[in-house]
């Protein structure tokens, strides 16, 4: 076998007998991986005169980029909005458990909380690569407290805040630090929100519009100032109205700056959004749809009482409510379930369903050059799935980090 030593001593793994999601379609070709990156086989053959050290037969599996969850409040008994002494071990547990659901990167999400919680929790969240220990952490998603009282949903009213004279300083004082923050959800109709959006965007932080009573022109103005995302479309915002469609109208707005795309999160669990609404959004703006779980601590656990930050929530089947009410509070859906439901509800292609959980969130966060695709030189974070989109194995940096037990299939 020709030597690969000229470029690298690292072994080359060739995944064969598979269909790869590349350039928006499933292509029957092999996947080549070395040192955690996806290789261009032409360069390998012709420039390096190299070949595979290991061949793996994928048995006709689909290979797709790993899923990226940009809104997950916790799971498996861990609540990211609770300040605990062992918070880091909670992050570790969730990041390990979500591997079986195909998530290779995520944004731990904090709901509206008192400043003391942000000050305790945020220093304990650090951006890190994924691996055998669990999915990678891309940075925190701070959902609130600068949101609308009328559309607070499951967020505690006594913790909501407004922007005062030094708006951005208010935000900094509330959170304590923005070092590990990737996304901030706020209500754009709040006074002085424009200067906050501009400042966050300037720092490379994604601004999401949500928990809001904004009309369409306020939403469009927020996008012009740098907002690029909508938090769980249709939930906790004004319902679509034909004379003023509100934030929902951003999906077909003609006031979006040239070259900018507005993305929107969807909780595709069959409960938060009627399948007809899911179809409307997808048909109106397919390239902006980002699947999120909005999962709470009760994900992966039996029905009963759990927490969501300052609130007690009750799980009844797949429904999660603030205890004693019928106010929905997050979900217990896993990302692979959301992908399957999305495909079933919309009748979209397998490729489209998979990209809504991988390519689109990567584009939203501006990391599509390394995550969310199987392009050459990108990170080898990928999944093997069967034709029904059940995850069979999860790989991070080219290493297998989870595999379905054959007996459990």
Residue 381 has pLDDT above 70, yes or no: yes
The response to whether 272 counts as a known ligand-binding position is: yes
What pLDDT sits at residue 132? 95
The response to whether 204 counts as a known ligand-binding position is: no
For residue 189, tell me if it sits in a domain: yes
The response to whether 243 counts as a known ligand-binding position is: yes
Residue 50 binned pLDDT confidence (cut-offs 50, 70, 90): confident
Q: Which domain holds residue 290?
A: 66-365
Total domains present in the chain: 2
One domain, residues 19 and 77: no
One domain, residues 279 and 397: no
Residue 409 has pLDDT above 60, yes or no: no
For residue 409, tell me if it sits in a domain: no
Residue 2 has pLDDT above 70, yes or no: no
The response to whether 330 counts as a known ligand-binding position is: yes
Contact 180, 125 (CB under 8 A): yes
Query: Chain centroid to CA 140: how far?
Result: 11
The answer, yes or no, to whether the previous bond of 145 is cis (omega within 30 of 0) is yes
What pLDDT sits at residue 206? 98
What pLDDT sits at residue 4? 44
One domain, residues 38 and 87: no
Contact 184, 142 (CB under 8 A): yes
One domain, residues 143 and 214: yes
One domain, residues 23 and 98: no
One domain, residues 137 and 42: no
Report pLDDT digits (tens) over 189-237: 999 999 999 999 999 999 999 999 999 999 999 999 999 999 999 999 9
**Looking at the annotation, which residues are catalytic?**
294
The CA radius of gyration of the chain, in Å to the nearest whole number, is: 21
The response to whether 328 counts as a known ligand-binding position is: yes
The response to whether 274 counts as a known ligand-binding position is: no
One domain, residues 268 and 385: no
For residue 3, tell me if it sits in a domain: no
Contact 101, 144 (CB under 8 A): no
For residue 184, tell me if it sits in a domain: yes
What pLDDT sits at residue 236? 95
Report pLDDT digits (tens) over 291-330: 999 999 999 999 999 999 999 999 988 899 999 999 999 9
Task: Tell the burial category of 170 from Cβ atoms under 10 Å away from its Cβ (0-12, 13-18, 19+).
Answer: middle
Question: What predicted TM-score, i.e. pTM, was given to this entire model?
Answer: 0.96
One domain, residues 72 and 60: no
Q: How many CB atoms lie within 10 A of CB 326?
A: 7
Report pLDDT digits (tens) over 241-292: 999 999 999 999 999 999 999 999 999 999 999 999 999 999 999 999 999 9
The response to whether 341 counts as a known ligand-binding position is: no
């Amino acid at each position: 076998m020709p030597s690969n030593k000229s470029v690298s001593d690292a072994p080359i793994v060739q995944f064969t007998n598979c269909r790869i999601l590349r350039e928006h379609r499933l292509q029957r070709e092999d996947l080549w991986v070395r040192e955690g990156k996806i290789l261009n086989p032409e360069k390998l053959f012709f420039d390096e005169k190299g070949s595979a050290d290991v061949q793996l037969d994928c048995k006709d599996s689909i290979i797709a980029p790993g899923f990226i969850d940009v809104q997950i409040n916790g799971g498996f008994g861990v609540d990211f909005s609770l300040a605990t002494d062992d918070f880091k071990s909670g992050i570790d547990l969730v990041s390990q458990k979500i591997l079986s659901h195909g998530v290779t990167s995520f944004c731990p999400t904090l709901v509206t909380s008192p400043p003391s919680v942000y000050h305790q929790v945020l220093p304990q969240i650090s951006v890190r690569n994924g691996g055998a220990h669990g999915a990678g952490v891309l940075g925190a998603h701070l959902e609130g407290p600068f949101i609308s009282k009328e559309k607070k949903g499951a967020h505690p009213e006594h913790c909501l805040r407004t922007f005062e004279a030094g708006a951005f300083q208010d935000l900094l004082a509330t959170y304590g630090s923005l070092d590990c923050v990737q996304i901030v959800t706020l209500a754009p109709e709040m006074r002085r929100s424009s200067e906050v959006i501009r400042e966050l965007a300037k720092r490379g932080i994604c601004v999401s519009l949500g928990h809001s009573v904004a009309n369409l022109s306020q939403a469009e103005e927020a996008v012009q100032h740098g907002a690029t995302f909508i938090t769980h479309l249709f939930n906790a915002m004004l319902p679509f109205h034909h004379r003023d469609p509100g934030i929902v109208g951003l999906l077909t707005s003609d006031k979006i700056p040239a070259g900018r795309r507005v993305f929107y999160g969807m909780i595709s669990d069959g409960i938060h959004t009627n399948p007809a609404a899911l179809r409307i959004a997808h048909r109106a703006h397919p390239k902006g749809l980002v699947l999120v779980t909005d999962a709470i601590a009760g994900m992966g656990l039996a029905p009963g009482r759990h927490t969501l930050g300052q609130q007690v929530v009750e799980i009844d089947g797949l429904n999660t409510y603030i205890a004693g009410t019928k106010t929905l509070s997050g979900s217990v859906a896993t990302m692979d379930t959301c992908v399957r439901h999305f495909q079933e509800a919309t009748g979209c292609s397998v490729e489209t369903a998979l990209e809504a959980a991988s390519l689109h969130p990567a584009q939203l966060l501006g990391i599509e050059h390394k995550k969310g695709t199987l392009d050459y030189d990108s990170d080898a974070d990928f999944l093997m799935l069967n034709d029904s989109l059940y995850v069979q194995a999860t790989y991070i940096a080219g290493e297998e980090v989870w595999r379905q037990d054959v007996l459990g299939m």
